[in-house]
Amino acid sequence: MNILVTGGGGFLGLYIVEQLVEAGETVRVLCRGEYTRLKELNVETVQGDIRDTATVKQACEGIDSVFHTAAVSGIWGPWDHFHSINTQGTLNILDACKTEGVTRLIYTSSPSVVYDGVAHENANEYLPYSDEYLCHYPHTKMLAEKAVLAANGENGLATVALRPHLIWGPRDNHLIPRLIKRAKSGRLRQVGQGMNLISMSYVENAAAAHLQAAARLFHDSPVGGQAYFINEPEPVLLWEWINQLLQAADLPPVQKHISVKAAKRIGGVLEFLFRVLHLPGEPPMTRFLASQLSSSHYYDISRARHDFGYHPIVNFEEAMRRMEPELKRLAAQ
Residue type, 220: D
Distance, CA of 7 to CA of 275 (rounded, Å): 29
How many DSSP H helices and E strands does the chain contain?
13, 15
Q: Based on the residue annotation, tell me whether 126 is a catalytic residue of this protein.
A: no
CA dist., res. 155 & res. 58, Å (int): 18
3-state secondary structure at position 260: helix
Rounded Cα gap, residues 219 and 226, in angstroms: 13
* Distance (Å, whole) CA 294 – CA 211: 33
Q: What share of the chain is helix, strand, coil (3-state, %, to 5)?
A: 45, 15, 35
Q: Which secondary structure element, helix H or strand E, spans residue 47, and what is its range?
A: strand 44-47
Name beta bridge partners: 105: 66, 159
Q: Which helix (H) or strand (E) holds 14?
A: helix 11-22
Annotated active-site residue in 137, 298, 299, 310: 137
Q: Are 2 and 29 in contact (CB under 8 A)?
A: no
The length of the chain in residues reads 333
Q: What positions carry a catalytic annotation?
A: 137
